[in-house]
Structure 1
Amino acid sequence: MEGQRVEVDGGIMEGGGQILRVSTALSCLLGLPLRVQKIRAGRSTPGLRPQHLSGLEMVRDLCDGHLEGAEIGSTEITFIPEKIRGGIHTADTKTAGYACLACPRSWLESLALQEGQSAQA
């Protein structure tokens, strides 16, 4: 699987943030580079919101990854994971956005198979 990049159309189905959360968590777990396009295309305000950005940054930090295009309103990101690492990790949406929707699923999926790893929100 090395050298492959997963391409995800973020506008399929309901076109919300769930596809972004699941795909980045799986990318982190499997060690596969990822590109997500048309992020939240099915929403009245397409693109990344603060809670999505916080979730992406947390997954990036969990696996020492590289993240491109990650800014509020962006409709495309590229994520390149490295090795998952433990420690204390924090995230703050800096808004009234619901961080629990965006972050813990990504964190838990990314840490699920990593013995001795932990995260804190």
Structure 2
Amino acid sequence: MIVRTLADCEQSERKIVTQTWDSTRMLLKDDNMGFSFHITTIYADSETHIHYQNHLESVYCISGEGEIETLADGKVYPISPGTLYILDRHDEHLLRGFSEMKMACVFNPPLNGKEVHNEDGVYPLEAEAIA
């Protein structure tokens, strides 16, 4: 059994911080569960370009407000507590935080833990990841 607390993970190398978000990676590839689980904070008044070409992601909004815009069709979906969005088609999108948002995220395949978006909004495959 694996038991971790968010508070402990936030005080470790499992927390990755960027200009528009921070992500605490509570469950990673080396845990051998077949997926990774993260608690991510999207900063207020931010916009992040994301295009997970190598991963599928499911995101549940715990708190805060924002929106997601899919770039293929320009559709905009509001995000508020209780909203789940699923990027089942490697959807290229813009994620906007109007207020600070807390999100629970699941990735398949699982992340190693150090990934950040490249210039195209992509997380690299493990073979490309910088350790």
* TM-score interval, normalised by the smaller of the two chains: 0.3 to 0.5
Query: Whose strand fraction is larger, Structure 1's or Structure 2's?
Result: 2
Q: TM-score, normalised by structure 1?
A: 0.36
Q: TM-score, normalised by structure 2?
A: 0.34
Radius of gyration: which is bigger? 2
Query: Whose helix fraction is larger, Structure 1's or Structure 2's?
Result: 1
